């Protein structure tokens, strides 16, 4: 992937917004890749978890177009294994929040399969909609 770096963006509003919502210092990540190595959902993602935080560090707003934050199940495997103490699920949440605020809802109650809604545990429906619907 070819990217253009903008020195201004490294400390720009997008980085600040992610850091404010996630309460994480993105530059703590040194790209060891342990998050991606342990992630059980990695095969469903278009960008690896470590690539998400790398793009975010660089202030590249393309992260909000990725499917990865929406495939993250917030299972905390990466969080519990990160040698730098980065809480990556919170960074994923920040990306989702920014996408949602820009009008990009990925989970809509009206679009969920009706038979699934009728049988699924309440916790799954509530949890999914709280995460993904504006």
Partner 1 sequence: MTSTERVYGYFPGCTLATTAVDYDASGRAVAAALDLELREVPDWNCCGASFPLSAENVMNFIAPARTLIAAQREGQDLATLCAVCFHVLKRSDSYLRTHPEAADRLNAFVTEGDYDGRVKVRHLLGILRDDLGWEVVRRHVAAPLQGLRAAPYYGCLLLRPEAEMELDNPEAPKVLHNLLLALGAEPVGFARQAECCGSTLLVSAPEANQRLSTAVIESARSAGAMIVVTACPLCKFNLDRAQEGLPAAERLPVAYFTQAMAAAFGLAEHAGPVSPLQAAA
Separation between Cα atoms, residue 52 and residue 95, nearest integer Å: 9
Token code pair at residue 70: 């929406």
User: From the CB of 33, what's the least distance to partner 1, in Å?
Assistant: 18
- Which residue in the set 7, 80, 102, 103 belongs to the binding site for partner 1 (CB under 8 A)? 80
Q: Among 61, 74, 68, 71, which Cα is nearest to 101's?
A: 61
Indicate whether 126 belongs to the interface with partner 1 (CB under 8 A).
Answer: yes
Are the CB atoms for 41 and 67 separated by under 8 Å?
no
Indicate whether 86 belongs to the interface with partner 1 (CB under 8 A).
Answer: no
Maximum pairwise Cα distance, the chain:
51
| Closest CB to partner 1 among residues 9, 129 | 129
User: From the CB of 57, what's the least distance to partner 1, in Å?
Assistant: 19
Residue 108 gets the label, from left (phi > 0), alpha (psi -120 to 50) or beta, of: beta
The site map against partner 1 for 8-27 (x = CB under 8 A) is: ------------xxxx----
What residues line the site for partner 1 (CB under 8 A)?
20-23, 40-41, 43-44, 70-71, 73-77, 79-80, 89-90, 92-94, 97, 106-107, 112-113, 116-117, 119-132
């Amino acid at each position: 992937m070819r990217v253009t770096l903008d020195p201004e963006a490294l400390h720009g509003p997008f980085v600040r917004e992610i850091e404010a919502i996630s309460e994480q210092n993105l530059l703590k990540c040194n790209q060891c890749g342990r998050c991606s190595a342990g992630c059980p959902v990695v095969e469903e993602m278009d960008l690896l978890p470590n690539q998400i935080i790398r793009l975010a560090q660089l202030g590249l707003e393309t992260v909000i177009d990725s499917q990865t934050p929406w495939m993250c199940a917030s299972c905390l495997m990466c969080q519990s294994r990160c040698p730098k103490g980065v809480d990556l699920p919170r960074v994923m949440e920040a990306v989702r929040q920014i996408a949602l605020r820009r009008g990009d809802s990925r989970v809509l109650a009206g679009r969920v399969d009706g038979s699934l809604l009728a049988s699924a545990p309440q916790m799954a429906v509530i949890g999914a909609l709280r995460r993904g619907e504006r």
